[in-house]
Amino acid sequence: MPAAYEQYLVPVVFRPFAEDLATRAAALRPRRVLELAAGTGVLTSHLIARAPSAEVTATDLNEAMVALGSARVPGAVWRQADAQRLPFPDGGFDLVVCQFGVMFFPDHVAAFGEVRRVLAPGGRFLFNTWGPLGTHAFETALQAGLERAFPADPPRFFPTVPHGYADPAVAAADLAAAGFAVEEQRELTLRGRSESIADLATGYLTGTPVRAAVEERGDGEAVRATVIEEMTARLGPGPVTAPMTAYVFRAAA
């Protein structure tokens, strides 16, 4: 799954936002950076490039992601870690960053409290989270394909998890409950470019947790064909450029 995620999804979906978040991070002139939910290291690599004097520690809950990320971006220190039980001392970082990971936290306030604990006084927490599903053209088309393939019981991973923390007022309230002061909250729409909708569909179906749901329900090749057909009908075969909306938060400990 990490290899398919890196090959098919990172260039189209995650790299544009990683470039933006790394630029915002570098502007804070951090010295000790902790990255949560680092995945295969797309943000990590941009952090190292934009803030070369910073010490970057990258973490992910998934050991396979850590293994691939550490091979791809050896300039960071990599550790497997649960964001709700961080294995770091109090006040050890002046910046914590997270790209599209906070929506996976089972208890947002608890996780944000751990982030605040490991931040030095005045340290910053910088993260982004996807907007509603309808504001992400690629994933709207993908979900339509899944609903066509499984009309009775389509996988609901994308509406409920990646796009399940899409109310910025809720995120701001959770930050405040964890003791943060929100300094900036911004809606950001960037455009992803896919050379091949078929490849992008393959990435979603094999490089995300929806893979298991598809395998449980039936013929993976037939599902892939249906999803590609629906995504192509909506977006074209590629190359295609489409909008994706996220919210960016910067909060102070």
* Torsion angle defined by CA atoms of residues 130, 131, 134 and 140, in that order, rounded to the nearest 10 degrees: 0
Name the token pair of 173.
């309230």
Query: Order of strands, edge to edge, in the sheet holding 55-60?
Result: 77-80, 55-60, 32-36, 93-99, 119-130, 240-252, 181-194
Distances (CA, A) of 156 to 75, 102, 219: 36, 18, 18
- pTM equals 0.95
Q: ∠ at Cα 68 (163, 123), nearest 5°?
A: 60
The one-character DSSP state at 222 is H
Show Cβ contacts of residue 97 under 8 Å, excluding neighbours closer than 6 positions. 21, 25, 33, 34, 35, 36, 43, 47, 125, 126, 127
In angstroms, rounded to a whole number, what is the distance separating the alpha carbons of residues 162 and 156? 10
Cα(84)–Cα(115) distance, rounded to whole angstroms?
A: 8
**For residue 162, what are the contacts with CB-CB under 8 A and spacing of at least 6?**
100, 103, 130, 139
| Residue ranges making up the domain that contains 244 | 2-252
22: domain CATH number is 3.40.50.150
Model pLDDT, residue 219: 82
Distance of CA 130 to the CA centre of its chain: 8
Give the whole-angstrom CA distance, residue 222 versus residue 237. 18
- Closest of 46, 40, 48, 115 to residue 76, by C-alpha: 48
What is the DSSP secondary-structure string of 14-65? Answer: IHHHHHHHHHHHHHT--SEEEEES-TTSHHHHHHHHH-TTSEEEEEES-HHH
Query: How many structural domains are present in the chain?
Result: 1
Q: What is the pLDDT of residue 217?
A: 80
CA distance 187 to 171: 13
Per-residue pLDDT of the chain (253 residues; tens, 9 = 90+): 889 999 999 999 999 999 999 999 999 999 999 999 999 999 999 999 999 999 999 999 999 999 999 999 999 999 999 999 999 999 999 999 999 999 999 999 999 999 999 999 999 999 999 999 999 999 999 999 999 999 999 999 999 999 999 999 999 999 999 999 999 999 999 999 999 999 999 999 999 999 998 888 878 899 999 999 999 999 999 999 999 999 999 999 9
Q: Is 109 strand, coil or helix?
A: helix
Tokens linked to 104:
């996976």
CA–centroid distance for 79 within its chain: 18
Give the total residue count for the chain: 253
Strand, helix or coil at 250? strand
- The pLDDT score that the predictor gives to residue 95 is 98
